A and B are shown apart, each in its own frame.
Chain A
């Protein structure tokens, strides 16, 4: 009988808090959104299930949770906390990204730069609300709309906020189809949304091979803090475009990125124990994250309108919204919003240019913040 009573004392029921229960419910909501609404299922299913796993209260004296030294989950989480997984994901992204649309219309690269305004304005907002500069930098990067970059930078600048920042970044990436369209419509007129853009030119294989090497040199000589992320991104792209390493490119864009996404999503989810996650700070981070995404979208759209003042061949300003680097979701949103006005207007290819430029831009911004704030 004593053994049975001892066992009852170790069950999760006795240590369960309302916070754990709430987090398990949020995890189930994530899984439901992924399955029923198809919102970023590859991320939300692992994160959601990880949240459920991470909120079963561990038994005292047993190494079970992400935060227990030597536990299996802590070993998986090591890849997140030490910033190992994000560069590997960038390698896979590089191996699956086609920069042709960007190479065929270089002026659209600037939209990817403009959208990074969300990062820096959120940094100001975070400082205003009382976060210290390192925390503010880590929160600001949510505006880059790039999960791996957000995880990488927060693991370097504010590891204690990593869980909240990662969940905020991935949640808002999943909510791109909900957050962006109202802002895009608010900032553009019907005539602007109807603008048709010239079809992109054919890009030679040589351009595609030279680009990753040159772009890596340019961006990392200016912002060396971005070496790891951009190095892997452009290396992956070179594997793809060189045509001589097809096997490696295939592994990077299929098996490797899938394995790392599973481990990253699951362990980030498991790191959201109610005791560490349900705090006043997390709520502020979620609020700032939403603001950050909105400002990044607005920054891209408004800059496209500004460029149109000087351009003969006008840009459809909706394309500016794809400057946030949620690849390819924000480009898809541009296509969707554009086609609501004109079903025969195909903006997807044009939107991919600022979209991939946004990935580079947010990695450069992360490199700047890391090198400036860490000193």
Chain B
């Protein structure tokens, strides 16, 4: 027969509550340190660039070396144009293609 008290006893006997608290704390600790590292990285990188300047070689990926990546302003203009076109399409009563 199933018993609530026996269930709680089983959790206590297996250190279930402390494992849960400790486990969550460790997961939070690890991901918090990763989050902290990520937030500090953009501040550290300029210093690193002084010691190890960025080099471009033939392996560099298309996306990293493409003119669009070098000129993000073009992307913004393109996005704005697409957004405007979509807005016009949604708000005007002109027949759609």
Residues of chain A within 8 A (CB-CB) of B19 are 120, 123, 372
| A360 lies within 8 A of chain B by Cβ | yes
When chains A and B are docked, how far (Å) is the Cα of A116 from the Cα of B32?
A: 14
A312 close to B (CB within 8 Å): no
Q: Is A361 close to B, CB under 8 A?
A: yes
The reply to whether B61 and A215 contact each other, CB–CB distance below 8 Å, is no
Chain A window 337-373, contacts with chain B (Cβ cutoff 8 Å), 1 for yes, 0 for no: 0000000000000000000010011001100110010
Q: A129: nearest residue on chain B (CB-CB)?
A: B7
Residues of the B chain whose Cβ atoms lie less than 8 Å from the Cβ of A114: 28
A72: min CB distance to chain B, Å: 39
For the complex formed, measure the closest distance between the CB of B96 and the CB atoms of chain A, giving whole angstroms: 17
Which of chain B's residues has its CB closest to A205's CB? B64
Distance in angstroms from A117 CB to nearest chain B CB is: 6
The answer to whether B10 touches A364 (Cβ under 8 A) is no
Tell me if A7 is interfacial: C-beta within 8 Å of chain B.
Answer: no
> How many chain B residues touch A (Cβ–Cβ < 8 Å)?
37
B29 at the interface (CB under 8 A from A): yes
CB neighbours (8 Å) of B34 from chain A are 106, 109, 214-215, 218-219, 357, 360
Query: Which residue of chain B has its CB nearest to the CB of A226?
Result: B30
Q: Does A189 contact B (CB under 8 A)?
A: no
User: For the complex, what is the distance from the CA of A243 to the CA of B55, rounded to whole Å?
Assistant: 12
Which residues in chain A, 111-127, are within 8 Å of chain B measured between CB atoms? 112-114, 116-117, 119-121, 123-124, 127
Verify A106–B11 contact, CB threshold 8 A.
no
Say yes or no for A61: interface residue by CB 8 A criterion. no
Check if A12 is an interface residue, CB within 8 A of chain B.
Answer: no
Shortest beta-carbon distance, A198 to chain B, in Å? 15
A207-B45 Cα distance, complex, nearest whole Å: 8
CB distance from A331 to the nearest CB of B (A): 17
B10 to chain A: closest residue by CB: A127
Main secondary structure of the interface of B (DSSP, over half): helix
CA distance A106 to B38 in the complex (A): 6
B26 close to A223 (CB less than 8 A): yes
Task: State the Cβ distance, B14 to closest chain A Cβ, in Å.
Answer: 4
CA distance A287 to B26 in the complex (A): 27
Cβ A113 vs Cβ B31 within 8 A:
yes
User: Which A residues are in CB contact (< 8 Å) with B41?
Assistant: 103, 207, 210-211
Q: Mark B7-47, 1 if CB is under 8 A from A, else 0.
A: 11011001011011011101111111111111101100100
Write the residues of chain B forming the contact surface with A, with a CB cutoff of 8 angstroms.
Answer: 7-8, 10-11, 14, 16-17, 19-20, 22-24, 26-39, 41-42, 45, 48-49, 54, 59-61, 64, 72
Which residues in A have some Cβ–Cβ distance to B below 8 Å? 102-103, 106-107, 109-110, 112-114, 116-117, 119-121, 123-124, 127-130, 132-133, 136, 202, 204-207, 210-211, 214-215, 218-219, 222-223, 243-244, 246, 357, 360-361, 364-365, 368-369, 372
